[in-house]
């Protein structure tokens, strides 16, 4: 079966209200949003966000995420150190959760999106179906990386300001939050329609 695409029919889909229309208009006739057949400069913008996200992930994993006083001494932990701490305390549930959110998801997203950019850029259409599945996974799991950032913000907010204990957010929290926001922006700017050829059989 041969599929007809919007490009074959010289039509444009509005991504804001999902109305299909003829491409001579520059704005959607229903919602007045700017319309393009494909997101403009999708691959370039997505690639820039991806590289920046990767650069921020390096300090995020080396620097201190949170410092706190435990048994009278000040201890500082990196993201990975915090995860190890949970496993040592036999708190496997929280340890696994933070490991998934802070380590697995960000790196999985960066590797997957690099693969998607490769498939779209070099028109490797035999990977279209795998690509679209990966795209949906990384689009869905992206925001869960914010878990540890939220936890740090809540803990520091509650604990520090009621003088319960000393707890300070470290510079890694800023680097990590920036990296997560950048990966979400990279996925948002990627146009999944570029994974497919326009005249696939």
Partner 1 sequence: MLNKACAECGVIVEIKNLNTKYTYKCPRCNYTIVSSGERFSYILSMSATALLFFISACFLPLMTFEIGGSSISVTVIDAITKMGYEGYWIISILSLYVGVVLPLVVISLIILILVPRSFNYSTDSERAYLKVYTMLRPWAMAEVYMLAIVVSAIKLKAVAIFTLHSGVLFFILFLVAFYASIIWFNPEDIWQKYEIQK
Binding site for partner 1 (CB under 8 A): 1, 3-9, 11, 13, 15-20, 29-33, 68, 89, 91, 93-94, 97-98, 128-129, 132, 135, 143-144, 146-147, 149-162, 164-165, 167-169, 173-174, 177, 181, 184, 188, 192-193, 195-196, 198, 200
Smallest separation, CB 122 to partner 1 (Å): 18
Query: Binding partner of residue 144 among Zn ion, partner 1, none, CB under 5 to 8 Å per kind?
Result: partner 1
Structural tokens at position 33: 């949003």
Give just the sign of the alpha carbon dihedral 63, 68, 69, 71: negative
Give just the sign of the alpha carbon dihedral 134, 139, 145, 151: negative
Query: Binding partner of residue 129 among Zn ion, partner 1, none, CB under 5 to 8 Å per kind?
Result: partner 1
Smallest separation, CB 188 to partner 1 (Å): 7
Identify which of residues 16 and 25 has a Cβ nearer to Zn ion in the complex.
Answer: 16
CA 107 to CA 121: how far, in whole Å? 21
CA 103 to CA 96: how far, in whole Å? 10
Query: Binding partner of residue 173 among partner 1, Zn ion, none, CB under 5 to 8 Å per kind?
Result: partner 1
Using alpha carbons only, give the angle 57, 58, 60 rounded to the nearest 5 degrees: 60
Rule CB under 5 A: say whether 74 interacts with Zn ion. no
CA 111 to CA 118: how far, in whole Å? 11
Maximum alpha-carbon separation in the chain: 71
Smallest separation, CB 93 to partner 1 (Å): 8
Identify which of residues 55 and 97 has a Cβ nearer to partner 1 in the complex.
Answer: 97
């Amino acid at each position: 079966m041969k599929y007809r695409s919007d490009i074959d029919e010289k039509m444009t889909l509005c991504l804001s209200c999902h109305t299909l229309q003829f491409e001579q208009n520059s704005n959607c006739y229903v919602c007045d949003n700017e319309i393009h057949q494909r997101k403009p400069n999708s691959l370039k913008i997505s690639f820039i966000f991806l590289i920046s996200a990767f650069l921020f992930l390096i300090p995020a994993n080396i620097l201190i995420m949170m410092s706190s006083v435990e048994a009278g001494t000040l201890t500082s932990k990196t993201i990975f150190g915090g995860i190890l701490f949970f496993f040592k305390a036999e708190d496997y549930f929280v340890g696994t959760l933070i490991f998934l959110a802070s380590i697995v998801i960000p790196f999985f997203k960066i590797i997957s999106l690099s693969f998607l950019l490769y498939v779209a850029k070099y028109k490797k259409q035999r990977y279209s179906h795998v690509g679209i599945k990966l795209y949906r996974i990384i689009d869905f799991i992206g925001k869960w990386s914010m878990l540890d950032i939220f936890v740090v913000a809540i803990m520091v907010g509650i604990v520090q300001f009621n003088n319960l204990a000393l707890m300070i957010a470290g510079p890694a929290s800023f680097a990590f939050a920036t990296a997560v926001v950048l990966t979400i922006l990279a996925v948002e700017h990627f146009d999944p329609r570029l994974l497919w050829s326009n005249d696939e059989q």
